[in-house]
Structure 1
Amino acid sequence: MMNNFDEMQKMSKDNMDMAMASFGSFSKGFQAIAAEMADYQKKSFEEGSAAVEKLVSSKSLDKAFEAQADYVKTAYEGFVGEMTKIGEMVTDMSKDAYKPYEGVMGKLAK
């Protein structure tokens, strides 16, 4: 009887350790994503401000359209690049959070 209690207690501790390791991975991942998003927002705001200044200082309508088209193109490319990077970060975070459970899943599959 005591042996079963010790096994149950060890299993509970192991499960808690796995959950805490997984939670730690999620926490680090979300912090990295939040920092990346803050950097992107700052950069995007600065680029937008520069584009407005360029647009306002345009001497002709053609130059204004050209400035706006350049901004839209760079903003779109920057957004797509950033979302790709965030997607990769989420994928990596998910893989790291799953690692503690790999051993258990392998045992269950056998």
Structure 2
Amino acid sequence: MFKLEDIQNYGKEQYEAAIAHTTSLQNGLSAIVNAYGDYAKKSYEDTKLLAEKLSGVKSLDKVLEAQGEYAKTAYETFVADSQKIAGLYGNLAKQAFKPLEGVAAKFAPATTH
């Protein structure tokens, strides 16, 4: 026979687990949003610096040099930030499926060695 106290404790545990899971997902999404924001800000600042450099340049070779430096920096920033954001998405996916690990473990056949 079930006691009312046992049912209340089970409900409380499930509620707390759901809150912890939701908080974890929210933190993961927040980290992704911040990473995109940081990338956009850096990209904007790099473009602004290029425009400032180009405004004072008088020769074609200096224009090409400035554009080449910008392209290299933009590519390096893109690759680095893309890898960072991909890692954040991976972490978020792991957190999203973490509650299912316990359920899957209950139904997975036991392996013997």
TM-score, shorter chain, exceeding 0.5: yes
Compare 21-30 and 54-63 and name the one that shifted more: 21-30
Instruction: Output the CA distance in 2 between the equivalents of 1:90 and 1:44.
Output: 21
Query: Match for 2:103: what amino acid?
Result: V
- The alignment's C-alpha RMSD in Å is 2.5
Identify unmatched segments of 5+ residues in structure 2: none
Q: Deviations over 1:74-109 (max 9, x none)?
A: 101111111111000110111122222211110011
Q: Aligned ranges for residues 83-94 of structure 1 at < 5 Å?
A: 83-94=82-93
Aligned pairs, how many? 109
Structure (1/2) with the larger helix percentage: 1
User: Shift of residue 21 of structure 1?
Assistant: 3.9
Identical amino acids, percent of aligned pairs: 42
Residue matched to 1:37: 36
Query: Match for 1:84: what amino acid?
Result: Q
Identify unmatched segments of 5+ residues in structure 1: none
TM-score, with structure 1 as normaliser = 0.78
Instruction: Output the CA distance in 1 between the equivalents of 2:12 and 2:103.
Output: 14
